[in-house]
Chains A and B, each alone.
Chain A
Amino acid sequence: MDNYLSIFTEYNIPGALWVNIQLTFFAAIGALVLGTILAMLRISPVASFAAIGTSYVNIIRNTPLTIIILFGVLALNGQLGLNLGGGFQENFFRLAIMGLAIYHAAFVCEAIRSGVNTVPLGQAEAARAIGLAFMPAARMVILPQAFRGAIVPLGNVLIALIKNSTVAAVGSVSIEASSVMKDMLDVRADIVIPIFLTFAAGFVIIVIPVGLLTTWLSKKLAVSR
């Protein structure tokens, strides 16, 4: 038992999970903004805009996240010299956030689109009937309702993002949970199962409240029809 407890003093496990939470937080903001823009493009009447949105979603959603994050580090940073600033380590942290945001934006877009689909046709017709153009109708009538309808799928994207933040390990973010766990497993061969369960429990503790919160929110904010 003491043997097991020593891992907490030797390694900063909450600190590693905190890195994943930070990655998730910033990537979630980026993905939400980009995903909303993409959703607007996809439902807009302009064919070329819709095409941009659709191809983005189809390409990104079908690409492994590992490749996207690796591309950020090896191709954008390594070959093309893209630097997001903030010092050597911070740059990789930001690149990983960018990769996570780009990937999850495709799923945010689809979640919002499914939310738009929950808005009854009559709402859009009513908006047009009172003389609103496309943008005002989208901003004031459709999207507020769409976001409410999209809370559960968006919550699922957030949960996936929390878990996927571990993939930042390929992008040279070596202080996040999966890399720290790997170090510990290499060194402490005697207690590999307890180490894994400790990290797994950490993620369960982070993920389950998010799931409960989205369920609660979606019920609270449900548009009554």
Chain B
Amino acid sequence: MSSSILFDTPGPRARRNVLVINIVGALVIVALLWWIIAGLAAKGQMEASQWDDFLKADTWMDYLLPGLANTLKAAALAIVGSVLFGLVFGIGRLSTNWLINGVCSVVVEFFRAVPVLLMIVFFNIFIARTLEVSSNSAMWAVVSALVFYNGSVVAELIRSGVHNLPKGQREAGIAIGLTRGQSLRIVEIPQALVAMLPALIGQFVVILKDSALGYIISFNELLFYGRTYSSPNGNVLQALIVVAAVFIIINFTLSKIATILSRRLSSRGVGKTKPGAAALVGGPAGLEAVEPGGAKPTPDKP
């Protein structure tokens, strides 16, 4: 536990102090929660009629679940696209050909620097005006923006994953007669992929969250449906909380899976790469796992 870095095992007096502060802390939380709930109640926002809509099957069948289905569909397409994009450009950046390397570097750095929302707004209009998928342009705008951004992040993950493999892996590959490319494909990338799995799952959380930006261009995802539903019923505050809760539950589960996976993987001998990857998807990074200087590419984009 990281706690042991900062303080000794507490003695009897310290334990008593901690207990007192603990109770005070708990009281502060209770007071804070009560203040929020009382504030909402004073505005008539805690009345059962505002909330019980979300216990009705129709609300979920007609609005929230179709919205969630669209969110998950867009996210799934974006994930597949990102991994493909990441593989192509990640390998491109590892290429020794200066042209391929240069082009891939420019593309990856560009899309990492451009706000996702800017891309979503642009693609929405671009696709609506030019491509045949126009009735669904909002979804494709969200998917393509997410693929370009997250694909670039995945490309960096792959590149750093390969860079952080022990040098002996490549040397051994070349020693048994593989070319540089074969060694990359057969030996290094598979290991890098395994090692970056937790970071990749962390990236899924980012994709899911960013898919909610589609709301701005009226992509009928979960947040959009939640708001469409609450509009005739006048409970937008409640809808936002329910929708946020759905996102939190899904993302929290994904983060937990990532943490467990990274712990599993770090106990393996091979395929161990960049320690930062594991630390940044939310796992309690042990001291030994992080080198001074910190992690380079942050997979967990806020």
A–B interface present (Cβ within 8 A):
yes
- Contacts of A153 on B, CB cut-off 8 Å? 280, 294-295, 298
Closest to B40 in A: A80
Give the contacts of B94-111 with A (CB-CB under 8 A): 109-110
Give, as a whole number of angstroms, the nearest-CB distance from A121 to chain B. 5
A138 to B239, CA, bound (A): 41
A164 to B298, CA, bound (A): 16
B115 contact from A80, A151, A203, Cβ within 8 A: A203
A134 touches B7 (CB 8 A): yes
A75 touches B298 (CB 8 A): no
Q: Is A167 at the interface (CB under 8 A from chain B)?
A: yes
Q: Is A97 at the interface (CB under 8 A from chain B)?
A: no
Size category, A interface: 35 or more
- Contacts of A178 on B, CB cut-off 8 Å? 115, 117-118, 121
Closest to B208 in A: A64
A149 touches B293 (CB 8 A): yes
Give, as a whole number of angstroms, the nearest-CB distance from A164 to chain B. 7
A103 to B209, CA, bound (A): 12
Give, as a whole number of angstroms, the nearest-CB distance from B95 to chain A. 23
A163 to B243, CA, bound (A): 24
Closest to B26 in A: A48
A116 touches B2 (CB 8 A): yes
- Contacts of A156 on B, CB cut-off 8 Å? 298, 301
State whether A118 and B223 are in contact (beta carbons under 8 Å apart), knowing that A43-B2, A74-B236, A193-B126 are contacts in the complex. Answer: no
- Contacts of B73 on A, CB cut-off 8 Å? none
A138 contact from B3, B6, B213, B215, Cβ within 8 A: B6
A115 to B117, CA, bound (A): 30
A114 contact from B3, B251, B285, Cβ within 8 A: B285
Give, as a whole number of angstroms, the nearest-CB distance from B254 to chain A. 9
Q: Is B287 at the interface (CB under 8 A from chain A)?
A: yes
Give, as a whole number of angstroms, the nearest-CB distance from B241 to chain A. 8
Give, as a whole number of angstroms, the nearest-CB distance from A38 to chain B. 14
Top 6 nearest A-B pairs (CB, nearest first) are A48-B25, A64-B212, A62-B251, A163-B115, A156-B298, A107-B302
Residue ranges of A at the interface with B (Cβ–Cβ < 8 Å): 43, 45-49, 51-52, 58-59, 61-67, 70-71, 74-75, 78-81, 103-104, 106-107, 110, 113-121, 124, 128, 134, 137-138, 142, 149-153, 156-157, 159-161, 163-167, 169-170, 177-178, 181-182, 185-186, 189, 192-193, 195-196, 199-200, 203-204, 207-208, 218, 222-223, 225
Q: Can you name 8 extra interface pairs (CB under 8 A) apart from A45-B7, A47-B18, A63-B247?
A: A43-B3, A71-B240, A80-B39, A107-B302, A114-B279, A149-B290, A149-B293, A152-B293
